[in-house]
Amino acid sequence: MDFLELVKQRRSCRAFTAESLTEEQLQLILTAAQLAPSACNIQPLQLHLLRGERLEAARKCAWLYNCQAAVLVCTLDDKAWVRKHDGENFALADAAIAVDHMALAAASIGVDSCIIGAIKLADLKQALNLPEGEHAQLILALGHADQSAEDKLKLHDKRRALSELVSD
Ligand SMILES: Cc1cc2nc3c(=O)[nH]c(=O)nc-3n(C[C@H](O)[C@H](O)[C@H](O)COP(=O)(O)O)c2cc1C
């Protein structure tokens, strides 16, 4: 598929069917995160594939809609690249790129997703017993879109014009 077509095809899904994902689909999506660029190639991430009981536990701490699986992206902030002259830590940038890689990989195989940042961090840390040093950043909710459900947020088509977005 043409890359821009793939980018256009991906959209946030907030209502999923009961169809689960196959192991092959999950492996492809996770591989996209593995191959994502990161500052200095440090790869300061820990991914948690959430299914079954752990997914149910996570649902209590983040609005994951009725997704069938999810990938929690944690950063290892102590390991991430820090820009020397101003101390900027790039862990969140690395996490965001990995999440977007996974969302696009999912779209490429007909799997729908939604990036979730609205997470109760302390609750999630406790519910999943996350180790010290892991900072939960984003969750990618995964499944197949329920085409009969209305997208109540209707955010997808609101794009700033390129002429406004880009200065030259
Ligand atoms: C960092 C980040 C956090 C987000 N958090 C949430 C969230 O918590 N809940 C949600 O429903 N959508 C969330 N979204 C999805 C955005 O609302 C969505 O990407 C945006 O409205 C554009 O729509 P589109 O993804 O369909 O193109 C998040 C997206 C990003 C990039």
Residue range 121-153, pLDDT digits in tens = 999 999 999 999 999 999 999 999 999 998 888
Residue range 50-80, pLDDT digits in tens = 999 999 999 999 999 999 999 999 999 999 9
Give the per-residue pLDDT at 102: 99
- Structure tokens of 112? 């729908």
Give the per-residue pLDDT at 151: 84
Give the per-residue pLDDT at 148: 94
What is this structure's pTM? 0.97
The reply to whether 6 falls in a domain is no
The reply to whether 165 falls in a domain is no
From atom 25 of ligand 1, which residue's Cα is the shortest distance away?
12
Pocket of ligand 1 (CB under 6 A): 11-12, 14, 114-118, 138, 155-156
The model's confidence at residue 92, banded by pLDDT at 50, 70 and 90, is: very high
CA distances from 15 to 108, 112, 147, 153 (A): 19, 10, 8, 11
* Across 25-46, average pLDDT: 98
Residue range of the domain that includes 127: 22-151
Q: Which of 75, 115, 154, 156 to mutate to test the pocket of ligand 1 (most atoms within 8 A of CB)?
A: 115
Count of domains for the chain: 1
Q: Is the pLDDT of residue 154 over 90?
A: no
Task: Specify the CATH number for the domain of residue 64.
Answer: 3.40.109.10
Distance 85 CA to ligand 1 centre (A): 32
The reply to whether 45 falls in a domain is yes
Give the per-residue pLDDT at 122: 96
